[in-house]
C-alpha cells in the first residue's frame, strides 16, 4: 500500500512540475516579446535622432559624420535616379504648358489641367516603334544566313 501512495504522490508532483514549466515558459515568452518591442522602440528612436541630426546638419556635418552623410546623400540620389527610370519605363510626358510630369495616357495635365496636345510625341509609342524596328533587324540577321 505504501508503494502505491508514494507512486501517486510522485505522479501529482510530476504533474505540478510540468504545469510550472509550461507556466514559466509562457512567462519567458511574454517577457521576450516585451524585450523585442523595447528593442524596436530603441531602434526607431535612434532613427529619429539620426534623421533629426541629418536634417539640421545637412549643410555642415561634423567631420566624424561626413562619410555617413555622403552615404545618405548618395543613396537619395540613387532613389531619384531609379524613380526617373521607372517614369521613363511607364512613359511620362512633360506638360508643354507648366512643365509638370504627366502620364502619356492622360488627356489632361494633372498639374495645370490643360488639355494634352494632340500631336504631342508619346515616348511609349516611340519605344514600341523602336522595339519593332529592333525585332525586324534581328529577323533579317537571323534569316539572312
Ligand atoms: Zn501642366
Asked whether the predicted pLDDT for residue 113 surpasses 60, the reply is yes
Distance (angstroms) between ligand 1 centre and the Cα of 68 equals 38
Percent of the chain having pLDDT more than 70? 74
What value does the mean pLDDT of the chain take? 82
Output 128 or 45, whichever has higher pLDDT. Answer: 45
Please tell me the distance between residue 55's alpha carbon and the centre of ligand 1 in angstroms.
Answer: 31
Nearest to 110 by CA among 94, 134, 89: 94
Looking at residue 122, its pLDDT comes to: 46
What spacing in Å lies between the alpha carbon of 125 and ligand 1's midpoint?
A: 21
Cα–Cα distance measured from residue 46 to residue 126, given in angstroms and rounded to the nearest whole number: 48
> What spacing in Å lies between the alpha carbon of 80 and ligand 1's midpoint?
21
The 10s digit of each residue's pLDDT in 9-66 is 666 777 878 899 999 999 999 999 999 999 999 999 999 999 999 999 989 889 999 9
Distance 92 CA to ligand 1 centre (A): 13
Question: How close is the Cα of 115 to the center of ligand 1, in Å?
Answer: 8
**Cα gap 46→51, rounded to integer Å:** 9
82 Cα–ligand 1 center, Å = 23
Q: pTM to 2 decimals?
A: 0.47
d(CA 128, ligand 1 centre) in Å: 25
pLDDT above 50: residue 92:
yes
pLDDT of residue 73: 93
The percentage of residues in the chain with a pLDDT greater than 90, rounded to a whole number, is: 41
In order, the DSSP letters of 35-98 are: HHHHHHHHHHHHHHHHHHHHHHHSSS--GGGHHHHHHHHHHHHHHHHHHHHHHHHH-EEEPTTT
Whether the pLDDT of residue 124 is over 60: the answer is: no
Amino acid at each position: 500500500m505504501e508503494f502505491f501512495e508514494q507512486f501517486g504522490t510522485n505522479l501529482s508532483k510530476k504533474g505540478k512540475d510540468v504545469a510550472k514549466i509550461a507556466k514559466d515558459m509562457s512567462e519567458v515568452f511574454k517577457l521576450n516579446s516585451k524585450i523585442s518591442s523595447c528593442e524596436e522602440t530603441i531602434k526607431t528612436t535612434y532613427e529619429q535622432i539620426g534623421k533629426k541630426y541629418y536634417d539640421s546638419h545637412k549643410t555642415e556635418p561634423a567631420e566624424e559624420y561626413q562619410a555617413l552623410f555622403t552615404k545618405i546623400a548618395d543613396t537619395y540620389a540613387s532613389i531619384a535616379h531609379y524613380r526617373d527610370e521607372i517614369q521613363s519605363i511607364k512613359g511620362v510626358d512633360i506638360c508643354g504648358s507648366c512643365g509638370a510630369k504627366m502620364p502619356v495616357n492622360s488627356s489632361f495635365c494633372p498639374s495645370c489641367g490643360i488639355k494634352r496636345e494632340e500631336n504631342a510625341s508619346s515616348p511609349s509609342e516611340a519605344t514600341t516603334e523602336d522595339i519593332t524596328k529592333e525585332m525586324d533587324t534581328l529577323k533579317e540577321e537571323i534569316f539572312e544566313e
